[in-house]
Amino acid sequence: MKITEIFEMKKLSLSFEVFPPKSSDSFESVKSATEEIAKLRPSFMSVTYGAGGGTSEYTLDIVKNIKERYGVPTLAHLTCVSSTKETVAKKIEEMKSAGIENVMALRGDLTPELEKSDRSTWAYRHAIDLIHDIKASGADFCIGAACYPEIHPESSDQKEDIKYLKEKVDAGCSFLTTQMFFDNNLLYNFLYKIREAGITVPVIPGVMPITNAKQVDRAIKLSGSFMPQRFKSLVDKFGHSPDAMKQAGIAYATDQIIDLYANGIVNVHVYSMNKPDVAAKIQSNLSNILGTK
């Protein structure tokens, strides 16, 4: 199923993100965690691709397993920043042969080494270059791209960020998924601005349940997201107690999701980080709203 068809159903839903194993040693444990999440029957599951500009051998294996064994629609991520044209062409062919329907086209993060390297030699500088190549391959993928309610950290201002976002959509993206955010008003404000700029494709808000205090610094560093005082107070109060912090973090994410549904969002993407218990708890908190009881 293509991600865009999920929006046509107009039914409130949750999707979950998982990441592939870094090496064969953890393949079985990661596969099993992703299977537990697939058993929750989310609207779709996305599987990330490498990190820090790296590639990933296992993204497609995890995607195929979820799709074939559990019938859950999947979204395979693909990054391009440190790749050659040949590597990307090979990956696109592999996705085509595996019957992948949805691809998330990303640039990938810049590692310190990439930051120092000569950009004029790069085959891909931005996600849009990848979108052009995916389109040119002739495959009938439903293509998604990333967007940033609080501006991408490399952008000088939101106007510029939205201008490039529109170029990605015009190049062939059918939906956008947001970076994590902890204040829904930032998302509503962003949606207003992108609609005004003529970006009309569905936007899937990405919500990250913060379930331990250590995750807070990491999440802010990675995303640059604003932490509302309400969230900071919760970490101050419960951060020292793992069980209490987990409960409070899940409740905060649940609250965010309910507010998003109440304001017209149809599908929320949960950055579930290979944690089936967290995904299951959020889903059960929403069982009457989602009709999953």
Does 161 sit near ligand FAD (CB under 6 A)?
Answer: yes
CB 149 within 8 A of CB 181: yes
91 is an interface residue for ligand FAD by CB under 6 A: no
Torsion angles phi and psi, residue 224, rounded to 5: 70, 20
Tokens of 33: 């965690």
**48 contributes a contact to ligand FAD by CB under 6 A:** yes
**Considering the rule CB under 6 A, would residue 207 count as an interface residue with ligand FAD?**
no
Which of 25, 115, 154, 243 forms a contact with ligand FAD (CB under 6 A)?
154
- In the complex, minimum distance from the CB of residue 178 to ligand FAD, in angstroms, rounded to a whole number: 6
| The one among 13, 102, 177, 283 contacting ligand FAD by CB under 6 A | 177
One residue of 13, 15, 34, 79 binding ligand FAD per CB under 6 A: 79
For residue 34, give the nearest of 47, 25, 43 by alpha carbon.
47
67 binds ligand FAD (CB under 6 A): no
Specify the amino acid at residue 83: S
Near ligand FAD by CB under 6 A, which window of 8-16, 44-52, 86-94, 238-246?
A: 44-52
Site size for ligand FAD, by CB under 6 A? 23
From residue 255, alpha-carbon distances to 103, 192, 286 in Å are 29, 22, 10
Cα 32 to Cα 38, 61, 208, 235: the distances in Å are 10, 13, 21, 30
86 is catalytic: no
- Residue from 164, 188, 238, 261 touching ligand FAD (CB under 6 A): that is 164
The residue range among 24-32, 42-50, 86-94, 133-141 that interacts with ligand FAD, by the rule CB under 6 A, is: 42-50
Which candidate in 5, 8, 17, 101 is catalytic?
Answer: 17
CA angle, 162 then 166 then 172, to 5°: 150
Tokens of 203: 């936007």
Are 220 and 227 within 8 A, CB to CB? yes
Comparing CA positions, the residue from 239, 250, 237 lying closest to residue 285 is 250
Nearer to ligand FAD, 51 or 186 (CB): 51
Crossing angle for the helix pair 276-285 and 242-262, nearest 10 degrees?
Answer: 50
Classified as helix, coil or strand, 79 is strand
Is 31 or 77 the residue whose CB approaches ligand FAD more closely? 77
- Residues known to be catalytic: 17
Q: Which residues bind ligand FAD (CB under 6 A)?
A: 48-51, 77, 79, 106-109, 126-128, 146, 152, 154-155, 161, 164, 168, 177, 179, 206
